[in-house]
Structure 1
Amino acid sequence: MLKEERFKIIMKQINLHNKVLSVDLSKLLNVSEDTIRRDLKELADGGHIVRVHGGAISKSLVRPFIADVNVYSIEEKRIIAAKAVKLIENNMTLLFEGGTTIFELTKVIPENLNLTIFTISPQIAISLSEYKNIKVFTIGGELKKDHNIHVGAHTINELHRIRFDLCFMGVNAISVERGMTDIDMEVVEVNKAMFEVSEKNVLLTIAEKLNLSQRHQVSDLSDIDFLITELDCNNPFLDGFRNQYSHINIH
């Protein structure tokens, strides 16, 4: 496989999942990890990605406020945000994860709603600070620098002290067989805690992440109440989730 072809596949994986591991790319592309490391270095030197220990992450994941950062599938994420905001009602207490889809949601909340919003993401908290009628709280803990969210035991303990009406969360990968999965175990543990402390849980994902799977399971989807994509809710692509998880409201 030519280097240019590898680059296209690597960028696709990073844009889709936000973070990739060198070992996974090595298996996917059937090349050595040394080759992958050289590829990632070249892509990082060119300003396309951000290298981290063991792999790489999307620039939009860590710098969503930079105007020249191209967010992957931005139009689809705006459609998802427009659907998700309809679930928010006055005087709710909400829990927001981080990521670019949640960031789009923060932009479309009606100005007249009185809300209390907690988040594990410093960036999401800053985005919400523009609203006069929203009380914003951050759930503290260790900052996972390659995700810009808080993780660890302190974060999980703080989450368990509060009850939320709705939890809004992005998705790394989701499938009928394995449910919601992620590449990072620290993120998985915090996501599990977020589901446990919320009355209802909302997953936001672009359709490209459907029927994909990562190594660590967050939930088998029994904890999920709403699944929101950019697709029409009756799209046949969603039939597997509709048939397997009839309790989930698909939007």
Structure 2
Amino acid sequence: MLKDERHSFILDQLRTKNKVLTFELSQSLEVSEDTIRRDLKELAEMGRIKKVHGGAVSHSLNPYHYKDREIYAHNEKIELAEKARGLIRNHQVVIMDGGTTNVELAKRLPMDLKATIFTNSLPVAVQLAGHPLIETIFLGGKVLKNAQVTIGSEVIDVLGGIKADICFLGTRSLQDKLGITEIDWEETKVKRAILAASNEVVSMVIQEKIGTVQPYIICEPQRITTLVTTLEKRDPFLSPFFEMGIEIL
């Protein structure tokens, strides 16, 4: 079977099942798993699919609109937030950007935590506003409605005057070579400014986003201080990040 025919078959399977597994495609198409991995890599680079551990998923499984993302992989995001909440210590200056996982983190911060948190996320700011001891500073600017975050020069200018202890970066895609990548250019520029303003960088990412790539590069993987995932710490899928010296929770 020609490569284009294999690609068409894979895309047809995704349209009906939303997810495909490498070993199943190998059996169905009677080719090696290495061939399927190359096919999936090419389709991902073309933006047709999203690679995940052991296969690929449809773009519809990683929705772009905030309202859809609120319910997508909700239990996994709660697990990430529970793992990450202990990373914030008393009297730290923290930056939390957009993403529904950061909202779950904001919900779970201890009531006796004293910290200053900057955020450009409307839902995160609303959640933090109810915390008795956290000083919440909202970074105003143009609202990117799909993501419920502020973007633009106003946000970037304020971030240029901050040196935070730690930031929690909403992560749409993470790959061991390109690092964290994003689908929106304006949001990418803000995330880069957040990185420049932070000593430590925490990326909280569900399994399906690992190994996927978006058009715009935010940072190389070595810039990440701590990677919080739903996988076991010693999972082979995380080996490249472990070997870089990234802390894995």
**TM-score tier (shorter):** 0.7 to 0.9
TM normalised by structure 2 equals 0.75
- Residue aligning to 2:38: none
- Residue aligning to 2:132: 132
Q: Which segments of 5 or more consecutive residues in structure 1 lack a partner in the other structure?
A: 11-23, 30-42, 51-55, 65-70
Distance in 2 (CA, whole Å) between partners of 1:115 and 1:49 is 32
CA shift for structure 1 position 190: 0.6
Distance in 2 (CA, whole Å) between partners of 1:171 and 1:149 is 14
CA shift for structure 1 position 28: 2.3
Specify the code of the residue in structure 1 equivalent to 2:15: R
**Would the aligned equivalents of 2:221 and 2:241 in 1 still touch at CA under 8 Å?**
no
Specify the code of the residue in structure 2 equivalent to 1:250: I
SS at match of 1:90: coil
SS at match of 2:81: helix
RMSD: 2.8
Q: Which runs of 4+ in 1 moved over 2 A?
A: 1-10, 26-29, 56-61
SS at match of 1:180: strand
Distance 1:235 1:139, change over 3 A: same
Q: Which has the larger radius of gyration?
A: 2
SS at match of 1:112: coil
CA shift for structure 1 position 193: 0.5
SS at match of 2:238: helix
Specify the code of the residue in structure 2 equivalent to 1:169: L
Q: Which segments of 5 or more consecutive residues in structure 2 lack a partner in the other structure?
A: 1-8, 20-43, 50-59
Specify the code of the residue in structure 2 equivalent to 1:200: E
Q: Deviations over 1:75-98 (max 9, x none)?
A: 111111111111111111111011
CA shift for structure 1 position 117: 0.8
- Residue aligning to 1:9: 18
- Residue aligning to 1:13: none
- 1:208-223 to structure 2, matched below 5 A, reads 208-223=208-223
Distance 1:77 1:27, change over 3 A: closer
Distance 1:124 1:8, change over 3 A: farther
**Would the aligned equivalents of 1:140 and 1:158 in 2 still touch at CA under 8 Å?**
no
- How many residue pairs get matched? 207
